[in-house]
Amino acid sequence: MTGTLIEKEDVDKFRFIPAEIDKTSQFSNKLQGAVRLGNEFKSKTTIVFNTEDGPKRIETTVWSLTDKYIQIKHGILIPLKSLIEIEY
């Protein structure tokens, strides 16, 4: 897995930029599964996203999904266009 591991509480300290390749449509089913895992089973998902400081990686519970963002703890929103990898 790529990206520097950071604490999920530090996500809002970084400025998101779009990933080189927009994988939003590819990740659709995986993101819905991540929301279900988080809400029903309290399982964590590994998310790699692109920032101005390079790729960052977190392990967290995904709370919700919209057409443009995923929401994690503390209402932090991560743009889908910034996502590089999703694993659970």
Tens-place pLDDT, residues 34-52: 999 999 999 999 999 999 9
Q: What is the CA 72 to chain-centroid distance, rounded?
A: 8
Cβ proximity of 34 and 88 under 8 Å? yes
Strand partners, 48: 57, 85
Residue 30: pLDDT over 90: yes
- pTM, two decimal places: 0.95
Count, residues in the chain: 88
3-state secondary structure of 28: helix
Q: Tell me the pLDDT band of 1, cut-offs 50, 70 and 90.
A: confident
Query: Per-residue pLDDT tens for 55-88?
Result: 999 999 999 999 999 999 999 999 999 999 999 9
Pairing of strands 56-60, 64-65: unpaired
d(CA 53, CA 43): 28
